[in-house]
Chain A
């Protein structure tokens, strides 16, 4: 136990300042308050891998490491789409995941947001459109925000998540109806 505690003390707090493009001045506390104002609680995200190579997954997982400390700004990943405000979708949407993605989308309560992650999510990436790939998330469900990159950095993913919430917050109707 002593070793565990001393390791914690030695490492210290590593969380870095987040600069979001819509509001570069805001620090994590302000962001947290902004999310609170918009939602009245933490932003809950459900991730869906719709045919990714797993590169984007690794960078999404990195958002939870102490440097980015996603939960510290009031964003958390949830286990069920029924608990989610936002879907974070990776991959070009493989044909074999199309139905699962649609069902997951339908299971998210309104209002809902969708962010397509990575070049594949944005436009199909190197896999494109084929017998096995739909060529991008927006081919299957409506998309509110897109972050390209192969894979995009955790910071880029975080910025797009924040931009998408802010945009939805300033236009209450931006969250779409099916």
Chain B
């Protein structure tokens, strides 16, 4: 019955971007991946579901980012004693961690070599799989200690430096295992998952109308991106497009989020290069922007601004003038600070040729978003697969060629200016009408995707509806999944003291990754 309805959907999935849907067998699962790779497409996300209650099957899904669309590939797995599917790790080096996460949550195995727990750190028993339908979300287990074998590097003078999960700065938890000779890094192995708080399972306890609140809290620095992606999926499934004014305000909020994060990073990067002046001044500009958010959107961080059907509040009356004034002042300040950064020999010495990620590596490793654009990958979904209102704007993806810290700094500078231009255009052409519309409960068993290019890269929400306005399954994907492994490569041959700088130049999300 359900399979029939998907067939009738004529291979198109509801989404804010062009999205095609394919069903494949085990052989086709790999073949499809190879086909995408041969056309230089990238793996966007990988997830699984437990559908044993429906048709005695598990399913795995892969979303691929191609030149003109997103393809979602679905593969059914018989729910036998050891449910398994072929690994695509050899085709997409970004896949293994996602496959390990699918195993930790669902107990379906890809046939790859690395079976170490990724999200499961012995906080729950290894025969228990939280995303299975028969798992009680309220279950609590005491933590036991389980070893995690890092890959050993051997040789004269090689030693290990373990860092984390509690780091020296005010940042998120994760573990880095460096193998070094002298100061030079021979190998870095990351261990993540410390921030896993069961978000996918939590979604299943929420009604569709409240899912956006949880989505906004997957990675706080990308609250607008995630809540928009969630709402885009729900609105596509229910065929209730957000009113045009609401969409403009969403885009305004998204660009403010981009600018605030970029300003914060530009300051932190200066600081990590020993230039505290940069932190002082960029953190001042970021604070100014957050206070503007408070005045215009009603909050410094927009956790609850984007709601299904539109946005929560209208623009205050004097918003237009005040925003344009803010942008003018900000533009002047950022130009002046960029001039100082560009002409500061000490900073440039630290930025240039540090943490280089070549274009070839970035392409092969499925680099996403800002990090990819700093290695000449011209892809920004606001440009390549634009949704309203971005499809009405003339945009160009910001790129840099060098792939080093300096390139990632320059992409941020350029994107701050580009975002300001977008905001001005959005404000200039504000449509009339309401800021939101009512969104009905979706029919059960509908799958829809929301994909939004946030400041870090594309965020994906795959939403499957349940009966009576419930969420059957919601998978959230952060671009950090693809970009964390990049850091392991970018650090090679660099010195340990440059790690904080190189790490910050990517500024990846732990929480968004860990779920």
* Interface positions of A (Cβ within 8 A of B): 3-4, 7-8, 11, 14, 47-62, 64-67, 77, 79-81, 91-92, 94-100, 104, 125-134, 150-151, 153
Q: Mark B167-181, 1 if CB is under 8 A from A, else 0.
A: 011111100000000
Complex contact A51–B195 (CB within 8 A)? yes
Complex contact B124–A131 (CB within 8 A)? yes
Complex contact A100–B124 (CB within 8 A)? no
Which 9 pairs show the lowest CB-CB distances between chains A and B? A55-B220, A95-B123, A132-B198, A79-B168, A65-B283, A53-B220, A96-B121, A133-B197, A130-B198
Q: CA A96 – CA B175 in complex, angstroms?
A: 12
Closest residue of B by beta carbon distance from A68:
B287
Contact of A62 among B128, B197, B290 (CB under 8 A): B290
Contact of A77 among B166, B170, B220, B280 (CB under 8 A): B170
Complex contact B123–A98 (CB within 8 A)? yes
Q: CA A80 – CA B138 in complex, angstroms?
A: 34
Complex contact A66–B284 (CB within 8 A)? yes
Contacts of B137 on A, CB cut-off 8 Å? 130-131
Contact of A7 among B145, B198, B281, B301 (CB under 8 A): B281
Query: Which residues of B, 3-46, contact A by the 8 Å Cβ criterion?
Result: none
Contacts of B220 on A, CB cut-off 8 Å? 52-58, 151
Q: Chain B: interface residue count, which band?
A: 35 or more
Contacts of A60 on B, CB cut-off 8 Å? 170
- Interface SS of chain A: helix, strand, loop or mixed? mixed
Q: CA A64 – CA B264 in complex, angstroms?
A: 12
Nearest CB of A to B266, in Å: 13
Contact of A94 among B196, B300, B344 (CB under 8 A): B196
Nearest CB of B to A36, in Å: 24
Contacts of B280 on A, CB cut-off 8 Å? 65-66
Query: Which residues of B, 332-355, contact A by the 8 Å Cβ criterion?
Result: 336-337, 339-340, 343-344
Contacts of B124 on A, CB cut-off 8 Å? 95, 131-132
Complex contact A150–B284 (CB within 8 A)? no
Does B194 count as interface, using CB distance less than 8 angstroms? Answer: yes
Complex contact A96–B221 (CB within 8 A)? no
Q: A54-B220, A65-B287, A98-B143 are in contact. Are A8 and B277 (CB under 8 A)?
A: yes
Q: A66-B280, A77-B170, A131-B137 are in contact. Are A125 and B217 (CB under 8 A)?
A: yes
Contacts of A8 on B, CB cut-off 8 Å? 277
Q: CA A36 – CA B480 in complex, angstroms?
A: 43
Complex contact B170–A97 (CB within 8 A)? no
Complex contact A62–B287 (CB within 8 A)? yes
Q: A91-B195, A97-B165 are in contact. Are A130 and B173 (CB under 8 A)?
A: no
Q: CA A4 – CA B514 in complex, angstroms?
A: 40
Contact of A130 among B138, B165, B281 (CB under 8 A): B138
Contacts of B283 on A, CB cut-off 8 Å? 61-62, 64-66
Contact of A129 among B138, B165, B339 (CB under 8 A): B138
Q: CA A129 – CA B145 in complex, angstroms?
A: 21
Contacts of A95 on B, CB cut-off 8 Å? 121, 123-124, 141, 143, 196
Most central of A51, A134, A153 by chain B CB within 10 Å = A51
Most central of A50, A95, A104 by chain B CB within 10 Å = A95
Contacts of A52 on B, CB cut-off 8 Å? 172, 195, 220, 511
Q: A55-B221, A126-B213 are in contact. Are A131 and B202 (CB under 8 A)?
A: no
Contacts of A79 on B, CB cut-off 8 Å? 168-169
Q: What is the total of A-B residue contacts with beta carbons within 8 Å?
A: 176
Closest residue of A by beta carbon distance from B135:
A131
Nearest CB of A to B42, in Å: 25
Q: CA A8 – CA B278 in complex, angstroms?
A: 11
Closest residue of A by beta carbon distance from B300:
A153
| Extra A-B contacts (15), CB below 8 Å, given A60-B170, A131-B138 | A49-B195, A50-B173, A52-B172, A53-B511, A54-B221, A59-B301, A65-B284, A95-B121, A97-B165, A99-B143, A126-B213, A127-B217, A131-B135, A131-B201, A132-B124
Q: CA A99 – CA B122 in complex, angstroms?
A: 11
Contacts of B466 on A, CB cut-off 8 Å? none
Contacts of A132 on B, CB cut-off 8 Å? 123-124, 130, 196-198, 201
Contacts of A126 on B, CB cut-off 8 Å? 202, 213-214, 217
Q: Mark B130-167, 1 if CB is under 8 A from A, else 0.
A: 10000101111101010000000000000000000110
Complex contact B284–A14 (CB within 8 A)? yes
Complex contact A3–B168 (CB within 8 A)? no
Contacts of A51 on B, CB cut-off 8 Å? 173, 194-197, 511
Contacts of B336 on A, CB cut-off 8 Å? 3, 7
Does B110 count as interface, using CB distance less than 8 angstroms? Answer: no
Q: CA A66 – CA B247 in complex, angstroms?
A: 34
Complex contact B303–A150 (CB within 8 A)? yes
Does B487 count as interface, using CB distance less than 8 angstroms? Answer: no
Q: CA A7 – CA B270 in complex, angstroms?
A: 15
Q: CA A11 – CA B201 in complex, angstroms?
A: 48
Q: CA A61 – CA B301 in complex, angstroms?
A: 14
Nearest CB of B to A137, in Å: 13
Q: CA A77 – CA B170 in complex, angstroms?
A: 8
Complex contact A53–B284 (CB within 8 A)? no
Contacts of B140 on A, CB cut-off 8 Å? 129-131, 134
Most central of B170, B202, B511 by chain A CB within 10 Å = B170
Contacts of A127 on B, CB cut-off 8 Å? 197-199, 202, 217
Contacts of B135 on A, CB cut-off 8 Å? 131
